[in-house]
Each structure stands twice: as structure tokens, then as C-alpha cells.
Amino acid sequence: MEIEKIIKEGVLGQKAYPIESRTCRIKLDANENPYPLPPDLKERLLRKIDSLSLNRYPSAGSPEMRSSIAGNLGVSDDMILIGNGSDELIQILLTAVKPESSGGIMIPAPTFAMYKIGAVNAGHDVIEIPLDDRFDLPIDNMLDIISEKSPGITFLSYPNNPSGNCFDTEKIKKIIEASNGIVVVDEAYFNFSRKTFLPCLEKWDNLVILRTFSKVGLAALRIGIMVGNPSLIHQLDKVRLPYNLNMISQAVGQLFIERAKEFLPKIDHIIAGRDRLLDKLKDIEGIDPYPSDANFILFSCHGDKNSVYEGLIRKGILIKNFPSSGPLKDCMRVTVGTEEENREFVESLREVIIPLGE
């Protein structure tokens, strides 16, 4: 078999999403919540799992979670689609939209890698628009692309991963207003920014909002949420695999929703930790951190960032490195951890940076 003749060119030319295979004592690379579930909740989960009929398929479409989430967000059930992580929901959107008649998928650069990876895999052209020097949207350029090419989907991460900032609200509204295609506002980090476009769903039927449970404490379970107009959700629901969310994720997700309020103090803690971490990073010579509305901080390094990255790994700390070319060539991203993890990270960073400056 000649694989090159069978596999799409886009897939052949693409690199898989890069994930560092080395593990470290302190994990600050993937924007996860550093706190484990409370012990009593873990016990309830174990009892719940014991009661599940694991020989049966799970409920198709996660109806119980769908209803609870709709109730919490104040929308109807038919506006919600539950995915195996928001990654799956991104893939569903890209599978449903016609590559041949849409004018491509518009994304800012840099942004969350899966928009581009998913778009290329689905056979779309990708239009990457470089962000300005404050990592905000170059609105005139984007409006020009919308009128020239009419992108099928525009993805906006809000706050943007990896820069950490929320784009200007008025610019996003202009993009939604001007677009004939779908505009996805990906609110994966909503719990840390507390800014949302949810009320705008009433005004614009091309707006889709994504949320996830991954950043607030359940990354392992892969639970993503899409909120959008019922006619679009109805079409996308046909692309979703029937049993996309396994029975354990549905059961744990439901318990999590019922006890969501208990997690809020930890979120407050992470937000306060982020602000303290930013202040500490500002004091370190040799790096420039960027302000963040999320649970991570992007920073640029004046010296050889790869040595800093490796130095941190040697000290047992894993953060996220980016390719040494392109808009993030000098940058790395650190997730806000527990107070102790943040303290150790800052100390270790100081230690690995000093010899580089000498």
C-alpha cells in the first residue's frame, strides 16, 4: 500500500500535537487544576462507579448532564452539546462545515493549536492572522478577510491560549456581526477570566461558545460543552459519535455539577496565586511575563530559553515550551500551580536563569 496516495496531503504534512513525554515531579505544562478532588467526593465517586452497569453502553448524548448544564447556564437543553473534551467539539464543528464552499477557517496566531490541527485534518484551508504586539486582534485585517473570503468558522480563544489575555470585546462583537460563518468563542478559561459572551447568544445565531471541565479539576474525564443556537446544535449532534462520553465521565461530571460551588474557593485561590506569580515573575531579570486572565502565564526569555526549559526539567519542573521559530520563539508558558509549586518554580527559574546572564 502506498500510504501517501491514500492519506490526505494535509494530514501527511502535519505534525501531531506536541506533548512532552518526560514526566516531572511538578507538572505546570497543561493548564490543569493542581488540586485533586476532595476525599469525600472521591469516595462518592467510587461508590457511584460501583453502581454503574459497565457492561452496558452509556446514555447517548449525555442527557442528564446536558439538562443540568443547560439549567445552570440558563439556556434550553437543545442549545447544548456535550463532547469528549472541547477538542472533540472543535473536531465536530470542523467535520460538519463544508471545506469546499467555506472560505477557510480563520484563526489568530498564536492561539490554541487544535484549531489548526483539526482544520487541516478536516481538509480546510487555514487563514492565520498574526495578533498585534499586545496579542490583540488586528480587527481591520480580520474584517477584510471576512468580506473577501467569508470564513466558514472563526475560532477565538477567550482568554487566548497561550497569550493569556482576553481580546477586546468590541472587536469580537464586530467579527461576529460581520461574519456569515460560525464564530466560536472558546471560553475554556472562563472560570479564571469570569468574562463571557453567553448573553450574546440571543443576538447572534452564528455565535458558538465552548467551555470545558478540564481546567477546573476534571481534565482526565474529558468533558467539553458547546452552547449555540438549536438549529446548528441539531446538525452538529448528527456528527457526534453516539456514545462519545463514557459512563464514568457522565456520572462523575454529574456529581461535579451538583457540587460545583465547593470548587469555587480553589478557583479564587488559583486566581490570587496567578496574580502573585505574575508579580514575582516581573521581578526576575531576563524574562518578561505577559498579564493573564487565565490559569497560566506566558513569558519571554532574553537568553536561551531551551536551556531554561531543560534546567527546570532537571529540577523536576515541567512547563510548556514552544517552537524556537515563529511568534513564540522566545516564549514559554507556565500553569499556575499550588502556592508551594509556584514558589518552587520561581526559585528554580531564578537559579537556572542566573548562570545564563553571567
Ligand X SMILES: Cc1ncc(COP(=O)(O)O)c(C=O)c1O
Supply the minimum distance, in Å, between the C-beta of residue 302 and ligand X. Answer: 26
Supply the minimum distance, in Å, between the C-beta of residue 89 and ligand X. Answer: 8
Of 150 and 246, nearer to ligand X (C-beta) is 246
Supply the minimum distance, in Å, between the C-beta of residue 219 and ligand X. Answer: 6
Question: In terms of Cα–Cα distance, which of 258, 246, 117, 107 is closest to 183?
Answer: 107
Supply the minimum distance, in Å, between the C-beta of residue 327 and ligand X. Answer: 16
224 binds ligand X (CB under 6 A): yes
Cβ(126)–Cβ(150) below 8 Å: no
- Give the neighbor-by-neighbor strand order of the sheet with 207-212: 80-84, 223-227, 207-212, 182-186, 153-157, 105-109, 126-130
Among positions 188, 287, 301, 349, the unique one binding ligand X when judged by CB under 6 A: 188
Among positions 62, 154, 212, 348, the unique one binding ligand X when judged by CB under 6 A: 212
Of 31 and 342, nearer to ligand X (C-beta) is 31
163 binds ligand X (CB under 6 A): no
Q: 337 vs 9, 22, 217, CA distance in Å?
A: 40, 18, 12
Instruction: Transcribe 293-354 into DSSP letters.
Output: SSSEEEEEESS-HHHHHHHHHHTTEE-EE--SSSTTTTEEEEE---HHHHHHHHHHHHHHHH
Region 272-291 residues binding ligand X, contact defined as CB under 6 A: none
Supply the minimum distance, in Å, between the C-beta of residue 218 and ligand X. Answer: 9
167 binds ligand X (CB under 6 A): no
Binding string, residues 231-270; x marks residues near ligand X by CB under 6 A: ----------------------------------------
**Stretch near ligand X under the rule CB under 6 A, chosen from 69-77, 167-175, 211-219, 240-248:** 211-219
Region 317-356 residues binding ligand X, contact defined as CB under 6 A: none
Residues in Cβ contact with 355 at an 8 Å cutoff, skipping those fewer than 6 apart? none
> Per residue in 51-86, is it b (16+ CB within 10 Å) or e — as a string?
eeeeeeebeebbeebbebbbeebebeeebbbbbbbb
Which residue has its beta carbon closest to ligand X? 85
112 binds ligand X (CB under 6 A): yes
Of 83 and 311, nearer to ligand X (C-beta) is 83
Q: 346 vs 278, 288, 353, CA distance in Å?
A: 10, 13, 10
Among positions 62, 91, 102, 157, the unique one binding ligand X when judged by CB under 6 A: 157
Supply the minimum distance, in Å, between the C-beta of residue 9 and ligand X. Answer: 26
Cα(158)–Cα(168) distance, integer angstroms? 10
Size of the site for ligand X (CB under 6 A): 13
186 binds ligand X (CB under 6 A): yes
Cα(34)–Cα(31) distance, integer angstroms? 9
Binding string, residues 74-93; x marks residues near ligand X by CB under 6 A: -----------xxx------
Beta-bridged to residue 275, according to DSSP, are none
Cα(264)–Cα(39) distance, integer angstroms? 16
Quick one: DSSP state of residue 215? I
Query: In 3-state terms, what secondary structure has residue 91?
Result: helix
Supply the minimum distance, in Å, between the C-beta of residue 137 and ligand X. Answer: 15
Supply the minimum distance, in Å, between the C-beta of residue 298 and ligand X. Answer: 12
Q: Within 217-263, where are the H helices? A: 230-239, 247-258
Backbone angles phi, psi at 25, to 5 degrees: -60, -40
Of 217 and 224, nearer to ligand X (C-beta) is 224
Region 8-67 residues binding ligand X, contact defined as CB under 6 A: 31
Question: Which residues of the chain form contacts with ligand X (CB under 6 A)?
Answer: 31, 85-87, 112, 157, 161, 186, 188, 212, 214, 219, 224
